[in-house]
Structure 1
Amino acid sequence: MRDDLGAEVPLRGPATRVVSLVPSLTEALAATAPAALVGATDWCTHPADLSVARVRGTKNPDLAAIRALAPDLVVANQEENRELDVRRLRDAGVAVWVTRIETVAESLTSMSRLLSTALGLADPPWLASARSLWSTPVEPRLRVAVPIWRDPWMVVGPTTYTDDLLRTAGLTNVFAGSADGRYPSVDLASIDGAGADVVLLPDEPYAFTAEDGPESFTTPTRLVSGRLLTWYGPAMVEAHGLLTTLQP
């Protein structure tokens, strides 16, 4: 049994006690196998009524608290979690499954593998719906920019899940060709002058609001849920409806 990075995951059978260090995977597990989910990070905010032990953040998890929960499996992500924390958990004898997700297709395959291989579960209805909705790319129709931070300004760049999600929904990311990394730092004038039809302002990781962001641009802006742009899992079903019908 191997995770997305090819690392061996020493499970003797389907996991029944799982700690998730990834908000989107927490939501996916809660929607699929709620009884198996025993721990999650403070950033795991969906579903809103989630009642499990909290193990601090994605970048600074409380490893002792995780071990105390005696999980069969800890679920992590290559981008969201630190390799150091994964290694320390494995050194302590805890099985860790690390996902690697940079495209819509990878998200669907990765989640299906995790649920079937590690938990012994068939694809749930939300995953079947997401696969059906996202199976056919929409023709390009709008150009968008997606800031994720300000002071300094940072935007979504290439080889990211969000970039591929936008492309599949018919939205061309004007910073998809950036040579400055996956989340490049840019100045405000560069965002406003990049030729986007609309600037999408999410509420995470930076919480853009009507009072903090739209006033900076001459380009039309739209406040959107960051969860719909960055979370793979049940959020993908709602995200398809928003992004494929988006107007400036």
Structure 2
Amino acid sequence: MTIVDQLNRSIQIDYIPKRIVSLVPSQTELLYDLGLESLLVGITKFCVHPHHLITNVTVVGGTKQVHLDKIISLNPDIILCNKEENTKAMIEELENIAPVHLSDIYNIEDCLELIKMYGSLFLVKDKAENIISKIKKEQQEFQVFIKDQPQLKTVYFIWKNPWMIAGNNTFINALMSIGKFDNYFENLERYPEIDLENDMDNQVEVIMLSTEPFPFKEEHVKALKLKFQQAKILLVDGELFSWYGSRLTKSFQYFKLLRETLV
């Protein structure tokens, strides 16, 4: 049987996969919510939702580096990866072990497509449709709420030393746009470094410090408040801004709460 992933790569599989290695945390959570926990044989150390998977499933490494010998020993039927989170070199090595399905996510539509793909691939179409329907419902309700809210010029930090932000052409930017958090750095692509001293001015209304991948804390909020006194500075849940898949069922309620704190 031939399947196609989100990079339009044709993948040949002989049967419905029963042994899955997932190397993307948000996709691991999605598999769990699709009722596929029993098929998971390998995950990364960052696959923390639900937390018990770390104890019950073999950890094969991180998202950028894995123990290939561990994956070989698991005899997977398929390995699930992401174009951005996993490296090209690693994916090429993994393809020598088992078929690799690649996701490529930039917006909500891409996310819903991936859920539908997994529903077909693993014969859980009804569960996939339920998750898709819930995400659409949550988004529609949020759009009613956000309709009359103002745009807020926003900077979303993902890293410190060097300071790095989420720019255009990212899933984070797509969610910011839905929440009317107008990206101050929308002219920059992907995740560029910025000069904190010179690249931001008093037009910035909101500064978001993400809890991941850099673990920003309240101490960082306090430090930036001294420098950007005109802006509201918030710690934000990075998972709800960057994890695609079933976590999106929780994101829109969170965005509503964020907006309400900024009134």
TM-score (norm 1): 0.91
Query: What is the alpha-carbon distance in structure 2 between the residues aligned to residue 214 and residue 114 of structure 1?
Result: 43
Structure 1 residue runs without a partner (length 5+): none
Name the counterpart of 2:112: 108
Of Structure 1 and Structure 2, which has the larger fraction of its residues in helix? 2
Query: What per-residue deviation string (whole Å, max 9, x for no partner) do you get for residues 65-116 of structure 1?
Result: 1121111110000000011111112123x01100010111111112211232
Q: 1:130 aligns with which of 116, 127, 135?
A: 135
What SS is found at the alignment partner of 1:200?
A: strand
Given that residues 221 and 235 in structure 2 are in contact (C-alpha distance below 8 angstroms), is that contact kept between their aligned partners in structure 1? Answer: no
1:142 maps to a residue whose letter is: L
What residue number does 1:49 align with?
Answer: 52
Partner of 1:97: 101
Alignment counterpart, residue 38 of structure 1, candidates 38, 41, 44: 41
> 2:244 is matched by which residue type in structure 1?
Y
TM-score by length of 2: 0.86
Partner in structure 1 of residue 6 of structure 2: 4
Code of the aligned partner of 1:31: D
Structure 1 Cα separation of the partners of residues 133 and 41 of structure 2: 25
Structure 2 residue runs without a partner (length 5+): none
> Cα 1:237–1:214, aligned 2, differ >3 Å: closer, same or farther?
farther
Aligned residues: 244
Deviation of the 1:207 alpha carbon: 0.3
Cα deviation digits, residues 177-222 of structure 1 (max 9, x gap): 22xx311111223565262321111111100000134422322211
Corresponding residue for 1:155? 165
Matched, 1:75 2:80: yes
RMSD: 1.8
C-alpha contact 1:19 1:75 (8 A) present in aligned 2: yes
User: Residue deviations 1:146-181, cap 9 Å, x none?
Assistant: 011111101000000000011112221111122xx3
Residue 126 of structure 1 and its aligned partner are, at CA, apart by: 3.1
Q: 1:173 to 1:194 in 2, by over 3 A?
A: farther
Conserved in 1, the CA contact under 8 Å of 2:157 and 2:164?
Answer: yes
Secondary structure of the 2:207 match is: strand
Matching residue within 254, 258, 261 for 1:242: 254
2:152 & 2:254 partners in 1: Cα distance?
Answer: 13
Superposed CA offset, 1:5-50 (max 9, x none)? 1222222232221110001001111111111111100111111121
Question: Which residue does 1:14 correspond to in 2?
Answer: 16
Question: Is 1:227 aligned with 2:231?
Answer: no
Deviation at 1:141, TM superposition (A): 3.1
Aligned to 2:184: 174
